Structure formats: structure tokens, C-alpha cells
A and B are shown apart, each in its own frame.
Chain A
């Protein structure tokens, strides 16, 4: 790996955190969605990260460990049930199934994704700076 593929690694980190942030945004937007096209309430989504080699790395160098979203996990547990008899989506017992999403937790998660994203941005800026200084050696 060289400094150039370090940039690819950081870019992969940015992409993964971005996907994660988008899913969280979707969770927040749908925190009260009781009816989806597939039927049933919205189910919380999360990104599953996995280490992934970055293209361009060579066998003779150390493997460039980037990251990618391996899959998007969908919450399969039973939804929250709240007693709201007048609700259009209430079942025969008067309960409505709500997404298992808690906005404060999602916000904390979002802050984590944002921090991770920014750290990758900082890494790219720093590595770019180092490459620039190495290029100065040609002068």
C-alpha cells in the first residue's frame, strides 16, 4: 500500500459512514411510520460494516484495509405495540404496531457516524499534505 491507496482507504471509510448516516436519517424520518408498502410498521435499519481490501493494493505491499457496508440489517424483532384504539392502523384489540426506533439513540448513532466521517476526511487531508511534501523533494 502506498499513501495513494491510504486515500482510497479513507474514501471507503467516508462512503461507509455516509451510508450509515443515511440509514439513521431514514430511521428518524420513519420513527412513527406504522404502515409501509410491505405491510406492517417501518423496521429499523442499520449498516453492517466489514473490512474490505481496497482496489489498487499490491501483493507485495501490506493489504490496504478499507471498509465497506457488507449488508443492511433490518430489525426483525417484534415491533412496539401501543394502545391507540382510534388509530387507522389499530388491530382488533386496539393496538398499533410502531417502529422500534428511539430518536435519542438514533441521534447518538448519527453523531458517531458524523465523527467517523470527519475523521476519514481529516485523514485524506493529512495524507494529501504528506504526498505534497514528498513531491517537494524533487525540487
Chain B
């Protein structure tokens, strides 16, 4: 039995799965998903504050998941950028 409430942060890991669409597209896709995760978390928070709809824990988990997705994305992006820079430094 696994306790895994975040499902390996799907917003990022799904988009980085090789799907034949090319690297740029994968990054764009990841950005969209992270963006959606953030927007979803914010609207859940607004719904709770304004309409009293929803639970605190659901909003909190959505916010944490969105933030983790963003952080993961940033780390992955940084890795790719520095790898790219490494490659560009190579003498031809």
C-alpha cells in the first residue's frame, strides 16, 4: 500500500514524458499545465473565501501541488538550460 496523495506531480511529469512532439513543445506543454495548476488552486481558494464552497484541506493541497509543480518545472528547466549552455561551449 502506497500513500501518495500527489501522484508524482502530474502537471510536470506528464508533459516531460517523451511523446514525439519535440522538446520545445514539451516545455510549452509543461508551462501550460503548471499555469493551469496555479489557476486552479487560485480559483479553489477564491471559491472557498467568497462562496464558502469547498474544504480548507482541498484548497491547501491544490496550492501545494501547484507550487511543487512550479518548483519542479523550474529545476528541470534550469537543468536543460545549463545542459544546453554546456553543449554550446563545446569546441566544434
Central interface residue in A5, A61, A134, by most chain B CB within 10 Å:
A134
Bound CA span A5–B57, Å: 15
Q: Which residues of A contact B60 (CB under 8 A)?
A: 134-135, 137-138
Q: Which residues of B contact A61 (CB under 8 A)?
A: 53
Bound CA span A109–B55, Å: 37
Say yes or no: B52 contacts A56, CB within 8 Å: yes
**Using a Cβ–Cβ cut-off of 8 Å, how many residues does chain A contribute to the interface with B?**
13
Say yes or no: B64 contacts A137, CB within 8 Å: yes
Say yes or no: B56 contacts A134, CB within 8 Å: yes
Bound CA span A134–B63, Å: 12
Contact residues of B: prevailing secondary structure = helix
Q: Which residues of B contact A58 (CB under 8 A)?
A: 51-53
Per the 8 Å Cβ criterion, residues 46-93 of A in contact with B are 56, 58, 60-61
- State which of B52, B61, B63 has its C-beta within 8 Å of the C-beta of A2: B52
Say yes or no: A2 contacts B54, CB within 8 Å: yes
Closest to B63 in A: A138
Number of interchain pairs (Cβ within 8 Å): 30
Give the size range of B's interface with the partner: 10 to 19
Q: Which residues of B contact A2 (CB under 8 A)?
A: 52-56
- State which of B51, B52, B54, B64 has its C-beta within 8 Å of the C-beta of A138: B64
Say yes or no: B56 contacts A131, CB within 8 Å: yes
Q: Which residues of B contact A134 (CB under 8 A)?
A: 55-57, 60
What are 13 residue pairs bridging A and B, where the CB atoms are less than 8 Å apart in the complex?
Answer: A2-B56, A3-B55, A5-B52, A58-B51, A58-B52, A60-B53, A134-B56, A134-B57, A134-B60, A135-B60, A137-B56, A137-B60, A138-B60
Q: Which residues of A contact B52 (CB under 8 A)?
A: 2, 4-5, 56, 58
Closest to A58 in B: B53
Bound CA span A83–B53, Å: 64
Q: Which residues of B contact A137 (CB under 8 A)?
A: 56-57, 60-61, 64
Q: Which residues of A contact B63 (CB under 8 A)?
A: 138
Bound CA span A60–B56, Å: 17
Per the 8 Å Cβ criterion, residues 1-51 of A in contact with B are 2-5
Q: Which residues of B contact A56 (CB under 8 A)?
A: 52
